Amino acid sequence: MKYHISRAHLSPGKPCEDAVRDHYVRIDRRYAMRPECVPAFGGNASSWYADGSDHRIEDDMIVRHLDDEDWFVEIEDMNAFVLTHGPLRIRRCIEDAAPDAYEVILLSDDSPRELLAGE
């Protein structure tokens, strides 16, 4: 299965050796009923509509789709991945427009592999 992948300590570069950059559709949600109400747009709705597609109001938020790029990894065997890369957390990736998108977050750069292997 394909997962977004990142590190808990936002270090620059590849999160792991197997990670590859790939494109996806990111969902941009803002807690406002109109683009003019978002401070970052300075009351100018055209800034909101200049980027992305599928602009709409959903659950009292303005929403749009943006083409984006992120790190991804294919994981066939989660147990083997954990033994290789150390502790991790898996979460539903709500920023991805795909209905079954998940993110793996690697928890530390110095993973205690011997503890995970039961040694």
Range of the domain at 91: 2-116
pLDDT digits (tens, 9 = 90+) for 31-61: 999 999 988 888 888 989 999 999 999 999 9
What's the predicted TM-score (pTM) here? 0.78
Nearest Cα neighbor of 20 from 81, 67, 75 is 75
Residue 47 DSSP symbol: H
Euclidean distance between CA atoms 3 and 8, whole angstroms: 15
Residues with Cβ within 8 Å of 109's Cβ and at least 6 positions away in sequence, in order, are 7, 9, 11
* Number of independent structural domains in the chain: 1
Residues of the chain with pLDDT under 50: 111-119
pLDDT at res. 111 = 42
